[in-house]
Chains A and B, each alone.
Chain A
Amino acid sequence: MDWLTTVDHKKIGILYLIAGGFFFLVGGLEALLIRIQLWKPLNDFVSADTYNELITMHGTTMIFLAAMPMLFALMNAVVPLQIGARDVAFPFVNALGFWTFFFGAVLLNVSWFTSTGAPAAGWTAYAPLSGPAFSTGHGMDYYVLGLQIAGIGTLIGGINFLVTIINMRAPGMTFMRMPMFTWASFITSALILFAFPALAVGLAALMFDRVFDANFFDPNNGGNAVLWEHIFWIFGHPEVYILILPAFGVISEVISTFSRKRLFGYSSMVFATILIGFLGFMVWAHHMFTTGLGPVANALFSIATMLIAVPTGIKIFNWIFTMWGGSIKFTSANLYAVGFIPTFVMGGVTGVMLAAAPADFQYHDTYFVVAHFHYVIVGGLILGIFSGLHYWWPKMFGRILNETLGKWTFWMFYIGFHLTFFIQHFLGLLGMPRRIWTYLDGLGFNEMNLISTIGAIMMGIGTIMFILNVVITNAKPQNAADDPWEDGRTLEWTIPSPPPEYNFKQTPLVRGYDAYWKEKMDGHKGMTPAEPIGSIHMPSPSILPFTMSLGLFITGFGLMYSRDWTFITEHIGFYIAGLGLLITFGSMFLRSVYDDHGFHIEPEELEDKGVKA
């Protein structure tokens, strides 16, 4: 019950981690099924239809239900601590964001258990394939409504972080003293704010096409299918930066901590992050070179895309210069961070190759593309998340993950990763198409696909080893020190692990970049407080975020079946949808009528009440 009503950002972080981790396993299982199907030519392990469902759900799940929530987990756990805040700006909205994501995710996955099956038009849901003419079952309805509901959660989560970072920094924490992870979270949140509403419109229009016979994307009724692509990618390309920037932030923190050096070129890192965020919005049509936009558009988007390599290169060199001459400690967290660098560089190089429009006509829809984006999102983002989890685990849970097992896990996952995807570059160059459920014998694809599948299984084993590590660690006592790596540089390491519910007994006074490190170098034991000990105002828990999201879930469910269910009267689905809206708006009404004054923690009771998990 405690977990259903919590508005504490640290607990919400843990909720995001559990839910996102669960969907990572689901998406991973889907990936393994795909790879098992492809391990030999003309395999009939799954049918063509099931295969389409598997790739669609794998891509959708990994991006929206696994990667984003795990990043939100880290952001929730760390950002308020890094800026010296007691809380986020909108604790209630934060909880609401989690629950809408969760119910949207559940709704999407319910589709597996329905008679018409899961969505099968690819995670990009290209029209008119995703329209009512070609996707006849309810699969795409689940996609449209599930993502719509989950997207609300992401959007309000992004606004929450923006306001928190702008308004709630501790005294002295200027923008140019903010840790890189917080900076990355800041830019990511801004991208979310400007990208997700476009997706919301696209999904709504597709929903209208499917449920209410609108004509947005159906060319037979005057609709425009390429319009869908524009809307999808004006969201979709920024989305990949929404994913990767926080990973960049993690890498900056981890490399600097374990090299015992200040991050090289801090201000150029900030600048590069902002520039990447900006350019991220300018390049969406590089996903559409083969749609026939014409040579001028292709050339412009091609050049704009290649420009992104410049700020990205700045970041890579700064990480390398940070390590240069540092006394590097290869903890598990740092292994992931160091392993990230060459992997991400490779993904970047193939990215520039794809950005050359004429070349893309050759690579398009082959395994070369699959190899490219997995180098970026698995070799970039997932390694970044693993790095961050090992690094902040003691802060989140008060226990250090087993280092030996952590290193074994890293090697298992890392080698498995390169086995899986390196070889796919060559499969692509040989012409193996993506999104096709099987291939013929004698094309020279057999051995490479087998190797790729073996690599995927190794990644699966690596993931299981990580879970094992979590279980083992959870059995240990909570005895992590405040600053367990002993080289902590930022504010989160100045408070107990796990932090008490109010984070900082006294708001710290920040006197420079790497605030804690600076105090250490000046010979101080901890931070100078910026205020006397006093009573602390806390928000009270509430069940309303849960019920609001539950209402949306019911609404989505009812809308989908508005035409099929007639067992009592016509349009039962609409009544169910109405009931759901009633629950949501009723909860909103309750929220606005009863003012939540929260409660105070008085100085006498300021002993540690850490997050229990």
Chain B
Amino acid sequence: MSSHSHAEGQLPHEPEKATLEGRNKVLGFWLFLGGETVLFGTLFSAFLALRHQVLDGPQPNELFKLSLVAAATAILLTSSLTSVFAIQALHNHNVKALINWLIVTVVLGLGFLGLEIYEFYHYVHEGHGFTTSAFSSSFYTLVGFHGAHVAFGIVWISSIIGQLMKKGLTVVTAPKVYVAGMYWHFIDVVWVFIFTVVYLMGKVV
């Protein structure tokens, strides 16, 4: 309950779950991710229903460059790994390593986002605009929602890095880090589905 009774140094092993507030945060976030699953599930369904409606625009197999997407995927998956290292550092109470791994994660996230922006830019030049067809609208909505999630995660984790630098690792900051880590993994998992459903399936059928 009282957040100031734990002085620095005598942090419990899992500081994110040491207080009721922390446990509430973690549970609430699990539930939130349940809702997010429905959100992306609906976006996927809409995409699946509309992906053959290309009208005069380009077909997915003319459009997608798997090498680019594979690079983006590799970057994002690596960032998931570095966020795991961050959580390990959290459990070892190693603030320095924690901050460093979070920074690496953010940088990789930025790399992914940069590739995606380049990709979108390229597609628009190929005649695949947001309003071109039902396929294009649902494509940009699904992939763009994911991209917006990545962008939000970058801003969020950056602000947590700021807090860690200022306040160190406490039972207040620990749940924030932990929850942001969950969020980042979730984004990764969604991307794996996007890679399969949008890009791989787009290439073959």
Residues of A within 8 A of B (CB): 89-90, 155, 159-160, 162-163, 166-168, 193-198, 200-202, 204-205, 208-209, 212-216, 221-224, 227, 230-231, 234, 537, 589, 592-593, 595, 597, 600
Contact = CB atoms under 8 A, between A and B. Distances in A.
Contacts of B46: 201, 205, 216, 227, 231
Contacts of A215: 50, 53, 131, 133-134, 136-137
A155 B42 CA distance: 16
Interface in B47-100: 49-50, 53-55
Contacts, number: 114
A89 B28 contact: yes
Q: Which of B23, B31, B36, B137 gathers the greatest number of chain A CB atoms within 10 Å?
A: B137
A155 B137 contact: no
B39 interface: yes
A215 B54 CA distance: 11
Contacts of A204: 141
A168 B42 CA distance: 32
Contact of A222 (B38, B130, B135, B172): B135
Interface in B96-114: none
Sorting the interface of chain B by its residue count into under 10, 10 to 19, 20 to 34 or 35 or more gives 35 or more
B11 interface: no
Chain B binding surface SS class? helix
Contact of A589 (B1, B31, B55, B159): B159
Instruction: In the A-B complex, list the 5 residue pairs whose CB atoms are closest, starting with the nearest.
Output: A222-B53, A222-B134, A214-B137, A197-B39, A201-B42
A155 B33 CA distance: 12
Interface string B148-165: 000000000001000100
A167 B23 contact: yes
B196 interface: no
A234 B38 CA distance: 11
Given A221-B55, A592-B159, A227 B50 contact: yes
Contacts of B39: 197-198, 200-201
B168 to A, nearest CB: 12
Contacts of B41: 198
Chain A binding surface SS class? helix
B20 interface: yes
B16 to A, nearest CB: 14
Contacts of A589: 159
A597 B32 contact: no
A59 B4 CA distance: 50
Nearest to B144: A208
Contacts of B134: 215-216, 221-224
A89 B172 CA distance: 15
Given A215-B137, A216-B138, A159 B53 contact: no
B124 interface: no
12 contacts: A89-B24, A163-B27, A197-B38, A198-B39, A214-B141, A215-B137, A216-B134, A222-B133, A223-B53, A234-B42, A537-B1, A595-B172
Contact of A194 (B4, B35, B45, B54): B35
Contacts of B23: 167
Contacts of A167: 20, 23-24, 27
A592 B131 contact: no
B133 to A, nearest CB: 5
B43 interface: yes
B141 A205 contact: yes
A280 to B, nearest CB: 14
A197 B36 contact: yes
B35 A212 contact: no
A83 B95 CA distance: 38
A212 B28 contact: no
A383 B136 CA distance: 48
B46 to A, nearest CB: 6
B28 to A, nearest CB: 4
Given A167-B23, A198-B41, A202-B42, 5 more contacts: A194-B34, A208-B137, A208-B141, A214-B137, A222-B50
B183 to A, nearest CB: 14
A193 B34 contact: yes
Contact of A592 (B3, B45, B136, B163): B163
A212 B136 CA distance: 13
B172 A163 contact: no
B131 to A, nearest CB: 4
A352 B34 CA distance: 32
A199 to B, nearest CB: 9
Contacts of A163: 24, 27-28, 31
B2 interface: yes
Nearest to B4: A597
B172 A213 contact: no
B28 A160 contact: yes
Contacts of A168: 20, 24
Nearest to B129: A213
Q: Which of A90, A166, A214, A593 gathers the greatest number of chain B CB atoms within 10 Å?
A: A214
Contacts of A159: 28, 31-32, 35
A223 B35 contact: no
Contacts of A196: 35
A93 to B, nearest CB: 8
Contacts of A595: 167, 172
Contact of B31 (A162, A205, A222, A234): A162
A171 to B, nearest CB: 13
A200 B46 CA distance: 13
Contacts of B133: 215, 221-222
A223 B31 contact: no
Nearest to A196: B35
B24 A194 contact: no
B102 to A, nearest CB: 15
A212 B131 contact: yes
Contacts of A208: 130, 137, 141
A90 B28 contact: yes
A51 B8 CA distance: 66
B165 to A, nearest CB: 12
Contacts of B31: 159, 162-163, 193
A230 B50 CA distance: 14
B130 to A, nearest CB: 6
Given A201-B42, A227-B46, A597-B4, A166 B27 contact: yes
A227 B49 contact: yes
A214 B35 CA distance: 25
Contacts of B4: 597
Contacts of A227: 46, 49-50
A181 to B, nearest CB: 21
Nearest to A162: B31
Nearest to A592: B159
Contacts of A162: 28, 31
Nearest to B53: A222
A197 B135 CA distance: 22
A216 B42 CA distance: 13
A584 to B, nearest CB: 13
Nearest to B134: A222
A166 B54 CA distance: 47
Given A193-B35, A194-B34, A204-B141, A597 B20 contact: no
Contacts of B135: 222
B137 A216 contact: yes
A159 B32 CA distance: 7
A167 B31 CA distance: 13
Nearest to A166: B27
